[in-house]
Amino acid sequence: MSKASINNRQGFIPHSRPTLGREEQQNAVQVIETGMICQGEMVERFEKKFAEKCGTAHAVCVNSGTSALHLSLLAMGAKADDEIIIPSYVCTALLNAVSYIGAVPVVVDIDPATLNIDPDHVKKSITSRTKAVIAPHMFGLPADMSALLESGIPVIEDCAQAVGGTIDEKPVGTAGHLAIFSFYATKVMTTGEGGMVVSDSRELIDGVRDLREYDEKGDFKIRYNYKMTDVQAAIGLSQLEKLDGFIAKRRSIADAYYKAFETFNIVLPPRDTGHIFFRYVLSMDGDPERIIRELLAKGIGSARPVYKPLHRYFSSNGCPNADTAWDRSLSLPIYPSLSQEDAERVADVFADVYNHNNK
């Protein structure tokens, strides 16, 4: 069965799904009716509102989180043969962005308690060629930014999974030199595909803005076509208005899961007031693949939270914590359009499958 047809099965609870409503529809239709659907006024408005929400001076829309990373690296002056430090336990978008500019990805391990990049491993990996660290807030849990900034190496905050999250009550995206976001379909808020770069630095943001588009430039250098369309921005504006509600809903589903699994011999996500629960990631004994298959047979989608740790693409074995996380972690459905009833069904079915596997 194809993924789409599985997701549409009656009563099936997918692992992940966007939450869209009439507001997004109406906003998108209004843009189409103007006849001007490319990057324009809506994109500008989305940038302004998004910067306000983050508490940063500036924001630039782009067409994906990957593009946001790529342009951030270029705007910081990163180039071929520079070293960029990234964690192993994350998607390949980071590896791609670093590779686009010919830089060297230095893959480091994670903190097993948070599943975020390990600041000590980062410090040990710094050389005279280190240009930047990319620090994702994995699964919506903010990384330890103050420890990462201590080294003095510029940090790109990867907020692709953590929009609306906070560190000491300040929004994520304000601690690093630059921050990026993704609005892919199943991220916390969506424009279908899309991304954003935010920063307080006018210079860095001007750099990103210049590289995002190629037309009407006085000089020639390599520039990109990474623009967002006004139709996407119109959808993004509606999603942004709903963001606080989305996060409240995610947290309430997380509360239900914490309660349901309290007595189980599994490691639950860290309780942190800044966590927005993009994913609810469990860590347990037993083969996640098998649990995933059994949940699927009972109508529940679940997944390994990371497809494959990055160091394994290089047959390297220097990231034991990422290996352990991959061996033990499972992500359960959590999104605003998941009803409390469905969340309870997920918890019940998971409990069944778990107990059956741990008899």
Ligand X SMILES: *Cc1c(COP(=O)(O)O)cnc(C)c1O
Instruction: Tell me which residues touch ligand X (CB under 6 A).
Output: 64-66, 90-91, 93-94, 136, 158, 160-161, 182, 184, 195
Question: What does the DSSP 8-state code read for residue 303?
Answer: B
Sign of the alpha-carbon dihedral angle for 44, 48, 53, 58: positive
Strands 155-158 and 170-171: unpaired
Residue 303's DSSP bridge partners are 331
As a residue count, the chain comes to 359
Q: Tell me whether residue 64 or residue 321 sits nearer to ligand X (CB atom).
A: 64
Nearest approach in angstroms of CB 191 to ligand X is 10
Nearest approach in angstroms of CB 69 to ligand X is 6
Nearest approach in angstroms of CB 121 to ligand X is 18
The separation between the first and the last C-alpha atoms of the chain, rounded to the nearest angstrom, is 31
Beta carbons within 8 Å of 143's beta carbon, 6+ residues apart:
114, 116, 117, 135, 136, 137, 157
Question: What does the DSSP 8-state code read for residue 220?
Answer: -
Nearest approach in angstroms of CB 161 to ligand X is 5
Could you tell me if 43 and 228 are in contact, meaning their C-beta atoms sit under 8 angstroms apart? yes
Q: Tell me whether residue 190 or residue 321 sits nearer to ligand X (CB atom).
A: 190
Q: Tell me whether residue 90 or residue 343 sits nearer to ligand X (CB atom).
A: 90
Could you tell me if 339 and 249 are in contact, meaning their C-beta atoms sit under 8 angstroms apart? no
Look-up: residue for tokens 């199943």? 186
Nearest approach in angstroms of CB 72 to ligand X is 11
Q: Tell me whether residue 28 or residue 97 sits nearer to ligand X (CB atom).
A: 97
Q: Phi and psi (nearest 5°) for 184?
A: -60, 160
Q: Tell me whether residue 189 or residue 291 sits nearer to ligand X (CB atom).
A: 189
Question: What does the DSSP 8-state code read for residue 126?
Answer: -
Nearest approach in angstroms of CB 114 to ligand X is 14
Q: Quick one: tokens of 202?
A: 């006018």
CA 123 to chain centre: 24
Which residue's CB comes closest to ligand X?
65
Q: Tell me whether residue 68 or residue 353 sits nearer to ligand X (CB atom).
A: 68
Nearest approach in angstroms of CB 143 to ligand X is 11
Three-class DSSP category at 184: strand
Q: Tell me whether residue 180 or residue 347 sits nearer to ligand X (CB atom).
A: 180
